[in-house]
Amino acid sequence: MGFELLAGTKAPVRVWTDPHNIEPQAAQQLRNIGQLPWVEGVAVMPDVHFGKGATVGSVIAMRQAVSPAAVGVDIGCGMSAVRTSLTAADLPDNLASLRSAIEAEIPVGFAQRESAVNTRRIRGLAQGGWDAFWNQFSTLDEGVSKLEDRAHHQMGTLGGGNHFIEVCVEQGGLDDGQVWLMLHSGSRNIGKELAERHMAVARGLPHNADLPDRDLAVFLSGTPQMAAYRRDLWWAQEYARRNRAVMMAVLCEVVRQHLPQVSYGEPISCHHNYVAEERYGGVDVLVTRKGAIRAGTGDLGIIPGSMGTGSYIVRGRGNEDAYCSASHGAGRRMSRNQAKKMFTQQDLMAQTAGVECRKDSGVVDEIPGAYKDITQVMEQQQDLVKVVAHLKQVVCVKG
């Protein structure tokens, strides 16, 4: 489908779903964003839903400005995936031991590593520049100086919420049955701390006094506040990328220990909570993707569903009406609290049948029924991405 315009905004707000089906709170957020004087345009993805300040599933192009709340607190959150040489026939009938081994090697939830990960000893981690990266910590906002040790110990850890690690099997096509590894995580506590500090600073700036929502407070180019935010933002985005790279390397080692014959292709990695400098229609803009991936022509991306449905590897079509973007997943159709009230542990077990995963009350809020239909979400963005592979998880590790 193409886009529809959301009525009642100054800047164009283009929507890749039925505007009438957007929850009222999210629609109001989009109108608030479209009224900001710095906004060039907004692209609304089919997984759109209410968020803090800005809607999740939105792409905001601003001229000489950026809103830290529109980026969100999990700076650099995103996905990584790698295709293996294995097929479904190579996997054991009982996947419980593989799931346990993953959980033993990669801390989840609030857990961190007992000692900082030794990146030089991780097989397959083709990523240098670690000393230079960590040396930049001293340049970050001075309020996080005491968190450096924690940041080291959380490198290579999953976190909680909707973050996950999966073993998936490709569905249909020429590679039916091919096994993929996939994970979803971001910048952990350090990204959250940096984001919240800058959001507080932005809310107190005079030019943000009359905004329709103070959570949309922006930094302006040429100011020390913008310079400080962009410095910390770029570092946190890099932290998130490296965090996923470490986990993927460890995950590959765990699978190799169980299935020594495995080999791996080139990993795919994409942020879906981040800022990038881009140019559209001859205008330089700062593009904030909050719950959206870049889908430039030929770009490989990852669009997951939920812990009981499926995921997609996609290739971007470069649709500039959407600022070369696509959805970051299925998107929630209800809040976590609503999900806990509506669904039971028995519902979770039924909806995740055939998946080796947690099935306790602690993850009921992540039940597939709390998310939109990923098949419909993909149908609504056929002009944004082309499907390369359709995956179905057989193991899912949650925080």
Residue 277 assigned ligand-binding role: no
Instruction: Determine if residue 190 is labeled as part of a ligand binding site.
Output: no
Closest CA to 248 of 81, 78, 12: 81
Please give the Cα distance from 137 to 245 (Å, whole number): 19
Q: Confirm or deny that 305 is annotated as ligand binding.
A: yes
Cα separation, 389 vs 387, whole angstroms = 6
In SS3 terms, 254-322 reads as HHHHHCCCCCECCCEEEECEEEEEEEECCEEEEEEEECEEECCCCCEEEEECCCCCEEEEEEECCCHHH
Tokens matching residue 341: 């009230």
Binding site annotation covers 311? Answer: yes
Is 398 annotated as contributing to ligand binding? yes
For 234, the token pair is 């770029």
From CA 167, how far away is CA 100, in angstroms rounded? 13
Give the β-pairing of 39-49 and 13-15: parallel
Residue-by-residue DSSP string for 1-29: ---EEPSS-SS-EEESS-GGGS-HHHHHH
Q: Is 62 annotated as belonging to a binding site?
A: no
**Has 193 been labeled as part of a binding site?**
no
Is residue 103 annotated as involved in ligand binding? no
CB-based contacts of 173: which residues, under 8 Å, 6+ apart? 389, 390
24 is in an annotated binding site: no
Tell me if 327 is assigned to a ligand binding site: no
Residue 137 marked ligand-binding: no
The answer to whether residue 49 is catalytic is: no
Task: List CB contacts of 96: < 8 A, sequence separation 6 or more.
Answer: 356
Gap between the Cα atoms of 187 and 208, Å rounded: 27
Q: Do β-strands 283-290 and 56-62 pair in parallel, antiparallel, or remain unpaired?
A: antiparallel
Point out the catalytic residue in the list 49, 271, 328, 390: 328
Locus of tokens 């800022």 = 275
163 is in an annotated binding site: yes
* 273 annotated ligand-binding residue: yes
Q: Binding site: which residues?
A: 74, 162-166, 184, 272-273, 304-307, 311, 328-331, 398
Cite the annotated binding site for GMP by residue number: 162-166, 272-273, 304-307, 311, 328-331, 398
Write out the catalytic residue numbers: 328
Known binding positions for Mn(2+)? 74, 163, 184, 272
